[in-house]
Amino acid sequence: MANCTDAFLDLCAFQDIPITVANTGSLSSDFVVLAFVNGNLGPIPYPIKTLATYQRLFKIAAGQSQNARLNMVLGALGRVNSISSCILACNSSGF
C-alpha cells in the first residue's frame, strides 16, 4: 500500500493470483477464471462469497494450456455498509 499512487485506495494492487488452465477436452474453447472471497468480517449480513476478480482466456486448443494472472485490488476485499462506506476489516491475525 505504501507504493500505491492511485487517487482511490480501493484501486491499489493487492495480490496477483497466477493460474494455469488446461483444456482437457477435444475441442478448442474459451475459459473464464473466477476468484471469490469470503469471510465473516465487516458489517452483517455476511455474504456467502463475493466475486473479487476474473479473466477470460480465449481459444485454448484441445490438450493445450494457457496462463492467467488474476489482478486483485484492495477494494475487492472490502465490504460496503449501509451508508456506502467501503470497510476493510481485519481478523485477529492482522488480515
61 is a domain residue:
yes
Q: Quote the domain boundaries for residue 32.
A: 9-87
The pTM is what?
Answer: 0.76
**Identity at 14, one-letter amino acid code:** F
Indicate which CATH number applies to the domain containing 68.
Answer: 2.60.40.10
Residue 23 lies in a domain: yes
Which residue from 84, 72, 82 is spatially nearest to 17, judged by alpha carbons? 72
Please report whether residue 94 resides in a domain: no
Q: Give the chain's domain count.
A: 1
Q: Could you list the pLDDT tens digit for every one of the 95 residues in the chain?
A: 678 888 888 888 888 999 999 999 999 999 999 999 887 777 778 788 889 999 999 999 999 999 999 998 888 887 777 777 777 766 544 44
Query: Cell numbers at residue 61, please?
Result: 486448443
How many other β-carbons are positioned within 10 Å of the β-carbon of residue 53?
19
